[in-house]
Structures are given as C-alpha cells and as structure tokens.
C-alpha cells in the first residue's frame, strides 16, 4: 500500500462549488481611450468575460477590471517548422475604472 503524501486531509464536497482560474496572458496595448482598450495577444479571451488587466508603462502600472467585448484573429504567425500560432486582438471595456488610473494610463501612452 502506498504511503499518503498529502500534508493535510482532503474532504469531499457534497454540493457543487465552482471557481475560476486566473491565467496570465501577455498582451500588447494597441490603442486606448477613457472607456476601453484594444489589446493584442496569443491566447483566447472570451467576449462577455471579465478580466483583471495590468498595463505597465515606464513610471506607472495600472490595474483595471475589463470586459471583453469582441475578440478576433488578426493573423497567423509561423512557429517552428510545422506550427502556426494565431494572434488575437480583443476590445476591452473598462468596468468602473478609477479616473486617476485612466489619466495615468493615457498620459503614459502619450509620453
């Protein structure tokens, strides 16, 4: 019989409990306004879903909650000898943005 390796006992859950997994998706900011942004990335983002996005520019970082409004493939890039990677663009709507954060982000993109 194999020895138990867990440091704590797991308990069965009698009812359905759901959660979410937050993944990091590298993005490039294409354009931005006071109400939203267009980002480019290699992994899918689903329209209607909420995402916590961090934009980092010299001298500032801004964290915003966003809703993906639309997402589409803009091109395919070759990866290796026999693979192709899809590049997506997603339109994001800022959800209850902090005015100061938006001001800092807009200023950083004009610098």
Q: What is the pLDDT along the chain (111 residues), one digit of tens a residue?
A: 667 777 788 888 888 887 767 778 899 999 999 999 999 999 999 999 999 999 998 888 999 999 999 999 999 999 888 899 999 999 999 999 889 999 999 988 886
If residue 110 lies in a helix (H) or strand (E), which one and from where to where? helix 99-110
- What pLDDT, on a 0 to 100 scale, did the predictor assign at position 3? 72
The CATH number of 27-110 is which of 3.40.50.300, 2.40.10.220, 3.40.50.1000, 3.50.50.60?
A: 2.40.10.220
Q: Kindly report the pTM of this predicted structure.
A: 0.78
- What pLDDT, on a 0 to 100 scale, did the predictor assign at position 13? 84
- What pLDDT, on a 0 to 100 scale, did the predictor assign at position 31? 94
Question: Residue 77 is encoded by which pair of tokens?
Answer: 């890039």
């Amino acid at each position: 019989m194999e020895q138990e390796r867990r440091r704590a006992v797991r308990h069965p859950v009698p009812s359905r409990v759901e959660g979410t997994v937050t993944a990091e998706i590298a993005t490039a900011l294409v354009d931005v306004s006071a109400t939203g942004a267009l980002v480019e990335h290699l992994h899918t983002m689903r329209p209607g879903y909420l995402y916590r996005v961090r934009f980092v520019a010299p001298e500032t970082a801004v964290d915003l909650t966003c809703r993906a409004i639309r997402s589409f493939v803009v091109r395919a890039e070759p990866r290796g000898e026999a693979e192709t990677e899809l590049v997506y663009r997603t339109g994001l709507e800022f959800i209850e943005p902090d005015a100061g954060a938006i001001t800092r982000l807009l200023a950083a993109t004009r610098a």
